[in-house]
Amino acid sequence: MKIWVPMDSAAKALGSEDVVAAIRAEAARRGVDVEIARNGSRGMIWLEPLVEVETEAGRIGYGPMNAGDVAAIFDGSPSLGLVEELDWMKRQTRLTFQRCGVTDPLSLAQYEAHGGLAGLRRAIGMSQDAIIDEVKLSGLRGRGGAGFPTGIKWDTVRLAHADRKYIVCNADEGDSGTFADRMIMEGDPFCLIEGMVIAGLGCGAVQGYVYTRSEYPDAVAVMRRAIVLAHEAGVIGPDVMGSGKPFELEVRVGAGAYVCGEETSLLNSLEGKRGVVRAKPPLPALEGAFGKPTVVNNVISLATVPVIFEKGASYYADFGLGRSKGTIPLQIAGNVARGGLFETAFGMPLGEIVTDLAGGTATGRPVKAVQVGGPLGAYLGQEQFDTPFGYEEFGGQDALIGHAGLVVFDDSADMLGMARFAMEFCAVESCGKCTPCRIGAVRGVETLDRIAAGDGAAVELLSDLCETMKDGSLCALGGFTPYPVMSALQLFPEEFAGVKEAAE
């Protein structure tokens, strides 16, 4: 009997290790021979720990599984049915996440059996020009949030003259509501490695770094192990799969600074400096890590590269909406009945995601607002639920998709409190380099406190401050903190009226 239990840290946090122990104990008690295999998460977090049993028809699911209920697996009790046939799975277009939750994350053989390394093999037979054209044609844009065309960034690095170039993976996924990077690193790490190697071949870079977070110890451990295995198998190292080209890879761990998710801060941190933002120009593509031309790409951008090379650029570009091509892993989080990761073509309306996929709130109360794109993303209200999920479409709403995390709030949310939190977070995490962010965030907290205390006149001051931060900050931390603040103010002006206490 073969049983799969996820080793994803969300599954672990919901008790998967206790479930594994209970399955072993129950199997021993019954004298049944079981093989427990480990996978990543399918992304149906509300069903975690999701235990899967191999049958002739396919893998059937039991979840959410408690250590006390494992007898059901052995008794043949009613299951969720075939996991691949569940509505949540069937409705997705799993390209980047095609193997996540399916294979053992640390089995290179399973990785290959499920389409892995096909893209890299193809890339090895291509010229640098052709590799970069393929990425350009796919329409892939930066999945970290900025949405810059990946192929153009790569081309800039390819054309730069230098004795050494770098591929840096930005895995500093600090946005609340996002966990796609973590799921790939824990659930399909070879996919990220393959994407980075292809980037290295295309740009002529021989060294890669995965810069990730100290808050992700499981992801760090799985990535490091996968790199060792990839090295042993010759996927990375002095001679990448017999191509004669070298590519080395290393994981670096941050130290709890949110701003290091900003690419120039990240580079400073990688170099061993304070994670302070650098002014651009020079672009990191020309003067990046250690002063050398550097590609800095998000995990999902790089992990999407293998499937583009496996299936072809046009296959990937055929999905999506307008200039937002391909698929996007939506991360549905916060106060939702069904939270998790759902990969789909761009274009799904926000309301369908929140109402249909997520099933509304976990508390059963009405949805008040959805914050999209992390702590620097705008709050959107029900009247914006017909907005299709795309870079330009959200831009048109004065919002952003960011790293595609959605945090749902029910009607008990205190929007002035959330606006204050956005400013407070910015003040705590500001790198201190530019004044609008460093001072503005502190003044923002004070101004919101004045409004909360009944000073309605301070609302105008807050708007003015947000304008200054937006226009004058060096990076997205100071520049985008006004998004959640101003959107909360515009959606729920009554909560900022300065007469809140009197009204209550």
Partner 1 sequence: MPHAAPSTDDITALIETQMHLEGPLLPIFHAIQETYGFVPQEALPVIAQALNLTVAEVHGVMSFYHDFRKTPAGDVVVKICRAEACQSMGANALSAAVLDKLGLDWGGTTADGKLTVEPVYCLGLCACAPAAMVGGKLVARADLARLEKAMEGAA
Q: Which is nearer to partner 1, 135 or 370 (CB)?
A: 370
339 part of the interface to partner 1, by CB under 8 A: yes
Question: What does the alpha-carbon distance between residue 379 and residue 486 come to, in Å, rounded to a whole number?
Answer: 9
For the four alpha carbons of 334, 337, 341 and 345, in that order, the dihedral sign comes to negative
Q: State the amino acid at position 195 in one-letter form.
A: G
Q: Where are the alpha helices (DSSP H) in 39-188?
A: 71-75, 87-90, 108-113, 118-124, 128-138, 150-159, 180-187
Question: What does the alpha-carbon distance between residue 67 and residue 231 come to, in Å, rounded to a whole number?
Answer: 37
291 part of the interface to partner 1, by CB under 8 A: no
Non-local (6+) Cβ contacts of 261 within 8 A are 144, 170, 172, 173, 174, 175
189 part of the interface to partner 1, by CB under 8 A: no
Q: Give the helix/strand (H/E) hosting 444.
A: helix 435-452
Residue 302's closest CA among 215, 196, 170, 222?
A: 196
Q: Which is nearer to partner 1, 375 or 444 (CB)?
A: 375
Binds partner 1 by CB under 8 A, chosen from 274, 291, 314, 467: 274
Cβ distance 54 to 2 under 8 Å? yes
Binds partner 1 by CB under 8 A, chosen from 331, 384, 430, 487: 331
Any idea how long the chain is? 504
Question: What does the alpha-carbon distance between residue 299 and residue 193 come to, in Å, rounded to a whole number?
Answer: 10
Q: Which is nearer to partner 1, 346 or 409 (CB)?
A: 409
What minimum distance in Å lies between the beta carbon of 318 and partner 1? 29
Question: What does the alpha-carbon distance between residue 64 and residue 19 come to, in Å, rounded to a whole number?
Answer: 10
Binds partner 1 by CB under 8 A, chosen from 58, 234, 256, 396: 256
Q: Which is nearer to partner 1, 307 or 407 (CB)?
A: 407
Binds partner 1 by CB under 8 A, chosen from 2, 29, 91, 273: 273
Binds partner 1 by CB under 8 A, chosen from 42, 158, 182, 403: 182
Binds partner 1 by CB under 8 A, chosen from 309, 425, 483, 496: 425
Q: Which is nearer to partner 1, 276 or 452 (CB)?
A: 276
Cβ distance 37 to 51 under 8 Å? no
What minimum distance in Å lies between the beta carbon of 179 and partner 1? 4
Binds partner 1 by CB under 8 A, chosen from 61, 177, 195, 402: 177
Q: Which is nearer to partner 1, 134 or 429 (CB)?
A: 429
Joined tokens for residue 206? 């021989």
Binds partner 1 by CB under 8 A, chosen from 13, 25, 28, 109: 13
Judged by CB under 8 A, the stretch of 111-119, 211-219, 296-304, 382-390 that binds partner 1 is: 211-219
Alpha-carbon separation of residue 89 from 42, 76, 79, 84, 458 (angstroms): 8, 23, 16, 6, 48
Q: State the amino acid at position 113 in one-letter form.
A: A
Q: Which is nearer to partner 1, 325 or 403 (CB)?
A: 403
Block residue for tokens 């600074």? 257
Question: What does the alpha-carbon distance between residue 295 and residue 287 come to, in Å, rounded to a whole number?
Answer: 10
Non-local (6+) Cβ contacts of 226 within 8 A are 105, 106, 189, 190, 193
Bridge partner list, 265 = none
Question: What does the alpha-carbon distance between residue 16 and residue 25 come to, in Å, rounded to a whole number?
Answer: 14
Non-local (6+) Cβ contacts of 238 within 8 A are 246
Joined tokens for residue 219? 């992801």
Judged by CB under 8 A, the stretch of 212-220, 239-247, 301-309, 466-474 that binds partner 1 is: 212-220
6 part of the interface to partner 1, by CB under 8 A: no
Judged by CB under 8 A, the stretch of 88-96, 210-218, 310-318, 448-456 that binds partner 1 is: 210-218
CA geometry: angle 282, 283, 285, nearest 5 deg: 130
101 part of the interface to partner 1, by CB under 8 A: no
Binds partner 1 by CB under 8 A, chosen from 407, 437, 465, 488: 407
9 part of the interface to partner 1, by CB under 8 A: yes
Q: Where are the alpha helices (DSSP H) in 14-127?
A: 16-30, 71-75, 87-90, 108-113, 118-124
Judged by CB under 8 A, the stretch of 11-19, 24-32, 153-161, 301-309 that binds partner 1 is: 11-19
Q: What 8-state DSSP symbol labels residue 60? A: E
What minimum distance in Å lies between the beta carbon of 244 and partner 1? 24
214 part of the interface to partner 1, by CB under 8 A: yes
Block residue for tokens 């002529």? 204
29 part of the interface to partner 1, by CB under 8 A: no
Q: Which is nearer to partner 1, 269 or 301 (CB)?
A: 269
410 part of the interface to partner 1, by CB under 8 A: yes
- Contact characters 365-404, partner 1, x per CB under 8 A: ------x---x-----------------------------
222 part of the interface to partner 1, by CB under 8 A: no
What minimum distance in Å lies between the beta carbon of 293 and partner 1? 15
Binding site for partner 1 (CB under 8 A): 9-10, 12-14, 45-46, 48, 173-179, 182, 207, 214-217, 219, 250, 252-258, 269-276, 290, 331-336, 339-341, 362, 371, 375, 405, 407-410, 413, 418, 421, 425, 429, 431
